[in-house]
Amino acid sequence: MAGGRGPQLQAAQGVRAHRTGKLGRSAGPHGRLRHGAGVSGRDFTPDFESDAFRLRKHSVLLDGHQTSITLEDAFWDQLNAIARRQGVSLNRLVTDIDHARTTNLSSALRVFVLEFSDIAASKVVVNALDAT
C-alpha cells in the first residue's frame, strides 16, 4: 500500500482520467424516472422518503480507535458492497479512505462511493461497447 492508499483508492482517484462524459443512469430503488425520460437523467425524481435517505450512525475502528460516522443508508450499503467486492473489511476500507482524505471523513466516504460507482459504470459501458 504505497503512501497509505489501498488499491480501491488508487482506482477511485483515476476516475477523472477515465471519464468520457456523463453516463445515463437508470432509476434505482431510491428514485424513479418519469415517462419519456432520456438517458441524461434530467427527469429523475428521487424518492426522498425511502430508507436510503435515512441517516445512520455506524461504529468503525480506525487505527485501533473506535469512532462513529453518520451517513445515509444508501452510502453504507454501497460501502459494504465495495468492501466485499475488494475483499476487505468495512473497517479496512474506511481506514484507507481516512488515511488519504483531505476533508472530513463523512464527505470523503460519500465522494469515494460516487467515484467508485463512476468507475464501475464506465467499465460496464466499455465492456458493452467492446462486445458489439
With b for 16 or more beta-carbon neighbours within 10 A and e for fewer, the 12-32 pattern comes to beebeeeeeeeeeeebeebbe
**In 3-state terms, what secondary structure has residue 69?**
strand
Q: CA 113: distance to chain centroid? A: 2
**Across the 132 residues of the chain, what is the mean pLDDT of every consecutive 10-residue run?**
46 38 42 48 65 84 94 95 96 96 96 90 69 68
Question: What pLDDT, on a 0 to 100 scale, did the predictor assign at position 24?
Answer: 38
- Residue 74 maps to which CATH number? 1.10.3990.20
Tell me how far apart the alpha carbons of residues 75 and 111 are, in angstroms, rounded to a whole number: 10
Per the structure, the count of domains in the chain is 1
Question: What pLDDT, on a 0 to 100 scale, did the predictor assign at position 43?
Answer: 64
pTM: 0.60
Q: Which residue has the cell 468495512?
A: 90
Question: What pLDDT, on a 0 to 100 scale, did the predictor assign at position 79?
Answer: 97
> How many other C-beta atoms are found inside a 10 Å radius of the C-beta of residue 40?
11
Q: What is the span of the domain harbouring residue 82?
A: 54-132
Answer whether residue 120 is part of any domain. yes
Answer whether residue 1 is part of any domain. no
Answer whether residue 63 is part of any domain. yes
